[in-house]
Copies of this chain bind each other. A is one copy, B any other.
Amino acid sequence: MKLYVWGVAPNPRRVLIFLAEKGLKVETEDAGTPNEPTLKAEFLQSGPHRRVPLLVLDDGTQICEAMAICRYFETLHPEPPLMGRDALEKATIEMWERIAENDGMQAVAEFFRNGRKAFTGRSLSGMPGTLEQIPGLIERGKQRLGWFYEKLDRQLADHEFLAGKRYSVADITALCVFDFAKRVGAEAPATLSHLARWHAAVSARPSSKA
């Protein structure tokens, strides 16, 4: 099998951190065009999804969506569990992971992709045609991201990790949002002390180097 990633893109990183936490090694290939902010044409034409991360199994089966890829490995290699053990833990983790994806990852993508010349005509990833940038989404993305950081900070005020006492895939997605947002100029305010404490803790794990 092979996992397609793309430079410092935050969505493939979710899978790389997950694999590192599981102690799994998977062959990876960078699907990006060297020195261009685009995916390679042959990658885009290789299937219907046009996005990274993409896991290709030995029989050619393609799995996209970071959490679908993580679910595949979680089922084959349950230990350590990163998606929960019982019903309530699984639901709580899925809730916070989806919040991190919908309110965090999509907000930073909105902020980033609508404001960079390099992404002209590509305001969303994975689309089969042109989608023009919408300048109003730059500010909206930043506003949403601000609310997302505040929500995390309130949750982390009395929870060690996002979904409770155990590190989970919800922390992984939130960490990838946090670090990518910092890289592109939409950093979390340092005044959110619970968020800062959590970020230091999850960043100290060896997996965060992925």
Contacts and interface: CB of A to CB of B under 8 A. Distances in A.
Interface of A: 48, 57, 61, 63-65, 67-69, 71-73, 75-76, 86-88, 90-92, 94-95, 98-99, 103, 106, 123-124, 126-129, 131-132, 134, 136-137, 140, 143-144, 147, 150-151, 154-155
24 contacts: A57-B88, A63-B91, A63-B95, A64-B95, A65-B98, A65-B99, A68-B94, A68-B98, A71-B87, A71-B91, A71-B94, A72-B87, A72-B88, A75-B87, A75-B90, A103-B126, A123-B140, A129-B143, A129-B147, A131-B140, A131-B143, A131-B144, A134-B136, A136-B136
Contacts of A95: 63-65, 68
A3 to B, nearest CB: 13
Contacts of A147: 127-129
Contacts of A68: 91-92, 94-95, 98
A94 B67 contact: yes
B76 A87 contact: yes
Shortest beta-carbon contacts, A-B, top 3: A75-B87, A72-B91, A68-B95
Contacts of A90: 71-72, 75
Nearest to A143: B131
B99 A127 contact: no
Contacts of A154: 48
A123 B136 CA distance: 12
